Amino acid sequence: MPLIELNSISKIYDTGTLKVAALDGIDFSVEKGEFVVVLGPSGCGKTTLLNIIGALDTPTSGKVQVAGYDLISSKRSELAKIRRSTVSFVFQSFNLFPGLTAGENVQFGIDVSDNRSGKLSEQVLSDVGLGDRGSHFPHELSGGEQQRVAIARALATANPVLLADEPTGELDFATGKQILRLLLNQAEMDRAVLVVTHNREIARIADRVVQLSSGRIVSDGTPPDGKVDLEELHW
């Protein structure tokens, strides 16, 4: 069974005078161990798709299953628990708590999760190359270091699904590659990794590339020129 499965998903926003279809008839799945990139311009529905998979939003119609849980039939009170035990998020804006140190930010992720990896915050920070930065606050870290803290927080859980929204968007190329290596490693550990981006170069390292346009999937398959090694990327 796929870790992520969407059937006939639509999301319509009603402004009162206008109805806008953010997603229209989406059929989509991700298996464990897959590294999938969703491409598309701003406003094509990428973030809406991610939010629905992460149980942060509900579709207007269709069926969503994540790690065996039916998100549509679940009560609102159940969705938060399902989210904590199935999905980890990495955001472009890092979403770190400014008043907590790097170690405390990671510990927060451990504390709220129902599916912990068993590692201490210090161990997870060491895994992302920040073993000596645990006592630093976010404003004392570079953008790349903050993103690695955010990824460490996601890795501190044993959740089977990892969702990343423009994880390299604010980073330089060298740091972006470090982040992508960490995400690829998670797929190699049998997590389902879904990366949303407008950067076509990142799609070259994916197992599958899903192209969104105006809320619809226009293509879904392997990279056009075949999957390449991370070291071959440039932007």
Provide the CATH number for the domain around residue 41: 3.40.50.300
Stretches in the chain below the pLDDT threshold 70: 114-118
Q: What is the pTM of this model?
A: 0.90
8 Å CB contact between 156 and 121: yes
Query: What is the reported pLDDT for 216?
Result: 96
Give the whole-angstrom CA distance, residue 3 versus residue 88.
Answer: 13
Q: Is residue 201 part of a domain?
A: yes
**Residue-range definition of the domain harbouring residue 189:** 4-92+159-226
Give the whole-angstrom CA distance, residue 145 versus residue 171.
Answer: 10
Q: Is residue 165 part of a domain?
A: yes
168 CA to centre of own chain: 12
Q: What DSSP designation does 210 have?
A: E
Q: Is residue 231 part of a domain?
A: no
Query: What is the reported pLDDT for 115?
Result: 60
Q: Is residue 48 part of a domain?
A: yes
Q: Is residue 147 part of a domain?
A: no
Contacts made by residues 139-145, CB under 8 angstroms, sequence distance 24+:
139/98, 141/102, 142/175, 143/94, 143/170, 143/171, 143/175, 144/171, 144/172, 144/175, 144/178, 144/179, 145/102
Residue 51 φ then ψ, to 5° = -65, -35
- Which burial class, exposed, middle or buried, applies to 15 when counting CB atoms under 10 A from its CB (0-12, 13-18, 19+)? exposed
Number of domains in the chain: 1
Q: With b meaning 16 or more CB within 10 Å and e meaning fewer, what string describes 55-77?
A: beeebeebebbbbebebeebeee
Query: What is the reported pLDDT for 118?
Result: 66
8 Å CB contact between 192 and 213: no
Q: Encoding tokens for residue 234?
A: 């440039």
Mark residue 229 as left, alpha or beta (left: phi above 0; alpha: psi -120 to 50; beta: remaining). beta
Q: Is residue 206 part of a domain?
A: yes
Q: Is residue 106 part of a domain?
A: no
Give the whole-angstrom CA distance, residue 30 versus residue 4.
Answer: 5
Give the whole-angstrom CA distance, residue 222 versus residue 227.
Answer: 7
Q: Is residue 15 part of a domain?
A: yes
CA 37, 154, 173, 51 torsion-angle sign: positive
